[in-house]
Amino acid sequence: MSELFEAVDALVASRSPLPPAEERRRLRTAHGLTLDEVAAALKVRRATVSAWEAGKTEPRPPEREAYARLLKQLAELYPAPSSMQEQAAPAAAPTTPTGTAARAEEALPADPPPNAAAPAENEDTQPRAPVAVAPAAAPRPARTSRTSSPRRPGARKAVPAGGTDARFENGSLAVVDAEDGQVLAYCAGGLVLDVPAKSLPSLVDWTLTEARLGQPKLSGPGKDADPLLVLTEAALERYGLPVTLTDEERLAGRIPEGHKVIKQLVRADWKLTKRGFGPWARIYRPATGSERACVQLCIPSWHALDSRHWGGAARLPQADLARVLGVYASRVMTPRGSTAVTGLELMTALHPPTRASEPDTNGKRHSEHNPGSLGKDPVDCAPCEAPDGHPLLANLPRFPVRGPAEKLFEEAYDWARPMTDAECMRRNLVGIDVNMAFAAGANGLVVGLGAPTQVKAPVFDPKLPGSWLVDLSHVDLSRVQVGKGKWAELDGSLLPSPFTPTGERPSGPAWYATPTVAYAVELGYEVRPLEAWVRYENGRYLDGWYQRLRDAYLATMADLGVEADLSPADFLAAMDGYRERDPQLAIVVSAIKATVKGGLGKLRERPRGEGWRPGEPWRALSRPTWRPDIRAAVISRTRINLHRKIVKHAAFTGDYPVAILSDCVVYAADGPSPLDFLPYRGGKPLPGGFKLGVNPGLVKHEGTQSVLWGEGVRERFEAPELNLARYIKDGTVTDADNGE
């Protein structure tokens, strides 16, 4: 009888029900399995599994039973959305080979409510733009496959009430991969599109006419973001592009203009921008009216995603890479290049240089200056703001040595001092780091929008952005004003000067940005500028930029379990190991931070080869966003914000910093935690001092090392003023770090 039962079980198993072909692929990709992994487990060829998923063939016993078992277990882990379940009845017999055309259409789920977050310290209360909530990484979201239906190129559809733009319903970008003869586009949210394009020109056409990729404009007068395609190595091979660049191509930043793929694009009437076909290529046709025809390519294997800012994103599976870039795009903007380039482009996207005018007498609108923007034409900086080699300095020697009285030098702190005997008796060195320090420095900052005006012997105006030549050497940090009419006696020898990045006291007149001079007045000292370059046309140009990046940072940190309203102890606990909770979202956090610093750095971009010689203009000078004065003002305000907190802390506790590097400050403390030296009372921080929290401008724990470690490192390199803030995070110091 048992033999009969076994025969019956085998007969039933030979007809095990299987889900439709499109559901099989969804289940496999939802679990992150490759065709090779499934084929190896079932002891069949890769092409066989691919044919099962395409509906071209059906598995036969004994593989059918094992395949059905696999799919059943995956279906329990990743149940299909209800709309798919209604369409997808189990298939017991071989299905008709319908190929990719039979993929089910599925509506994307609506975004959940945005995360609420407390405002940054000392910021104005302002409305916030909604931020998307990132999909979870584990378990991986169910992924829907569907084909994109054709539509008229450029056709604009109304935006639904929920806020989703139908023109871009598949998201802002896609990771394109070739797999077993098929080309697939992995979009954010787990969506997978079939790509019928056989060549790169047809891929560009498909993207613009069928893919429904892109992003709505961030500002009323702005432009929609172009769709972004990320090409994997397999996709590069499929479309005839090199998987990696040669050394010569890497140095040039592009493949040769005579490459066969570029010739294909030219024959199809597509153009490339001046930077050519490189890691971040833009393929376009001249715009007709308001309609744009442009697609951007990102090629990770050509080092498009810098590991310093994107971590290991370039090595992620297709769907995971789409998730990382998709979250960044939804919260910041569609990447336009490096994080630095994107940071600069975000400024322009939020404040486009032009807008449409009111209709004239004939009912026509014209392009006009958009108030609050930098305009469409570049302006010259002041001579003191010009970096060495600038055309304004062409009459100077080739390698001039410009001192503080000739050159504005607003940079971040790099300062340290020997420890006192009392500090050496303490057990630990504890580093605290200001969250998004430069973003917080940009918040509410009034910057120049137009060209500078030279003024001789001006009266200082703290509300007027510009550069001021003034002597601040008389400011004595041993006695400073810490409130209206309230003075504090301090040990000035243990404090860095707020007026120089080295912390050294100035010795005479020097050029400073407005926030630096204003701080000298705040400390209770008179200032008498000798000269100034001021900007009467000004505004809070960076406010929207700050708010967008702040919201992106806070929303992503909240997804990682670090909320904005945590108590100090809970905040420190939440920050412990937060990156391991979702390594993909941790990559997004790093990219957001790099967008802040890189975008500000681009405001004073220097020559990048191209045969440049001192005294000649370089490419960046042609941008209206080449504004070294804005960069200087942000850095000045960031450094001053930090010094103000240091002074408040010293006046209240008698403790002074041992080292400062940019936005990291190191104190000697008896315990290993910031709570061992930050003066919290009843859970409330010192007003105007350091406060633990995730918001920009607040601080987090950077690292703790022993005092013996610090003294040992300084003794080892015979450098009593070695900046320990550089190594406080993990304590690792190498000979290379100190020039040995």
Could you report the per-residue pLDDT of 554-581, keeping only the tens digit for each?
999 999 999 999 999 999 999 999 999 9
Mean pLDDT of 534-548: 97
Whole-angstrom distance, CA of residue 620 vs CA of residue 637:
25
Mean pLDDT of 672-698: 95
Helix (H, G, I), strand (E, B) or coil at 656: coil
Is the CB of residue 282 less than 8 Å from the CB of residue 212?
A: no
Is the CB of residue 472 less than 8 Å from the CB of residue 405?
A: no
Is the CB of residue 264 less than 8 Å from the CB of residue 203?
A: no
Whole-angstrom distance, CA of residue 509 vs CA of residue 487:
26
Q: Amino acid identity of 724? A: L
Sign of the CA dihedral running 332, 337, 342, 347: negative
Q: Can the peptide bond before residue 371 be classed as cis, meaning omega within 30 degrees of 0?
A: no
In this structure, of 100-114, 406-420, 448-462, the range with the lowest mean pLDDT score is: 100-114
Q: What's the pLDDT at 466?
A: 98
In this structure, of 238-247, 280-289, 396-405, 632-641, the range with the lowest mean pLDDT score is: 396-405
Q: What's the pLDDT at 609?
A: 76
Rg (CA), the chain: 30
Whole-angstrom distance, CA of residue 596 vs CA of residue 340:
8
**297 phi/psi in degrees, rounded to 5:** -110, 140
Q: What's the pLDDT at 76?
A: 83
Q: What's the pLDDT at 99?
A: 35
* Distant-in-sequence, close-in-space partners of 429: CB < 8 Å, separation ≥ 6: 658, 666, 667, 668, 669, 704, 705, 706, 707, 709, 710, 724, 728
Tell which wins on pLDDT, 566 or 736: 566
Burial letters 145-179, b for 16+ CB under 10 A, else e: bbbbeeeeeeeeeeeeeeeebebbbbbbbbbbbbb
**82 phi/psi in degrees, rounded to 5:** -55, -40
Specify the DSSP class assigned to residue 195: E
Whole-angstrom distance, CA of residue 384 vs CA of residue 562:
43
Of 71-80, 343-352, 606-615, the range with the highest mean pLDDT is 343-352
What is this structure's pTM?
0.80
pLDDT band with cut points at 50, 70 and 90 for residue 18: confident
* Distant-in-sequence, close-in-space partners of 728: CB < 8 Å, separation ≥ 6: 429, 430, 431, 659, 664, 666, 702, 703, 704, 705
Is the CB of residue 61 less than 8 Å from the CB of residue 17?
A: no
Flag whether pLDDT at 12 surpasses 70: no
Whole-angstrom distance, CA of residue 107 vs CA of residue 81:
10
For strands 699-706 and 271-272, give the pairing: unpaired
Whole-angstrom distance, CA of residue 174 vs CA of residue 203:
12
Specify the DSSP class assigned to residue 692: B
* Best CA proximity match to 347, nearest among 44, 522, 596, 61: 596
Flag whether pLDDT at 125 surpasses 80: no
Whole-angstrom distance, CA of residue 314 vs CA of residue 304:
8
Whole-angstrom distance, CA of residue 684 vs CA of residue 279:
49
Whole-angstrom distance, CA of residue 734 vs CA of residue 265:
49
Is the CB of residue 546 less than 8 Å from the CB of residue 443?
A: yes
Whole-angstrom distance, CA of residue 353 vs CA of residue 614:
30
Tell which wins on pLDDT, 697 or 136: 697
Whole-angstrom distance, CA of residue 297 vs CA of residue 241:
12
For residue 565, give Cα distances in angstroms to 120, 390, 562, 570, 683: 11, 47, 9, 10, 12
For residue 67, give Cα distances in angstroms to 16, 61, 111, 462: 9, 10, 34, 73
Residue 209: CA count within 13 A, CB half-sphere: 13
Extended beta strands in 29-152, E state: 145-146
For residue 388, give Cα distances in angstroms to 70, 239, 454, 585: 66, 44, 20, 40
Give per-residue pLDDT as tens, 169-185: 999 999 999 988 899 99
pLDDT band with cut points at 50, 70 and 90 for residue 409: very high
**660 phi/psi in degrees, rounded to 5:** -140, 130
Q: What's the pLDDT at 118?
A: 39
Burial of 369 (0-12, 13-18, 19+ CB in 10 A): middle
Of 479-483, 496-500, 680-684, the range with the highest mean pLDDT is 496-500
Tell which wins on pLDDT, 133 or 500: 500
Percent of the chain residues past pLDDT 90, beyond the cut: 68
Each as own residue / partner, the long-range contacts of residues 570-577 (CB below 8 Å, 24 or more positions apart, any chain) are: 571/692, 571/693, 571/694, 571/700, 572/673, 572/674, 572/675, 572/692, 572/700, 572/701, 575/694, 575/700, 575/701
Mean pLDDT of 623-639: 98
Burial of 80 (0-12, 13-18, 19+ CB in 10 A): buried
pLDDT band with cut points at 50, 70 and 90 for residue 271: very high
* Token pair in block for residue 674: 């910031």
pLDDT band with cut points at 50, 70 and 90 for residue 693: very high
* Distant-in-sequence, close-in-space partners of 35: CB < 8 Å, separation ≥ 6: 28, 46, 49, 50, 53, 179, 180
Give per-residue pLDDT as tens, 701-726: 999 999 999 999 999 988 888 999 99
Domains and CATH numbers, the chain: 1-99 (1.10.260), 147-151+166-335 (no CATH), 383-410+442-539 (no CATH)
Give per-residue pLDDT as tens, 283-298: 999 877 667 799 999 9
Q: How far is CA 552 from the centre of its chain?
A: 9
Q: How many residues does the chain have?
A: 740
Flag whether pLDDT at 162 surpasses 60: no
Whole-angstrom distance, CA of residue 237 vs CA of residue 714:
53
Helix (H, G, I), strand (E, B) or coil at 506: coil
Q: Can the peptide bond before residue 139 be classed as cis, meaning omega within 30 degrees of 0?
A: yes
Sign of the CA dihedral running 468, 469, 470, 473: positive
Burial of 268 (0-12, 13-18, 19+ CB in 10 A): middle
The neighbouring-strand residues paired with 454 are: 533
Whole-angstrom distance, CA of residue 565 vs CA of residue 665:
23
Q: Amino acid identity of 269? A: D
Q: What's the pLDDT at 244?
A: 96
Q: How far is CA 694 from the centre of its chain?
A: 17
**229 phi/psi in degrees, rounded to 5:** -110, 130
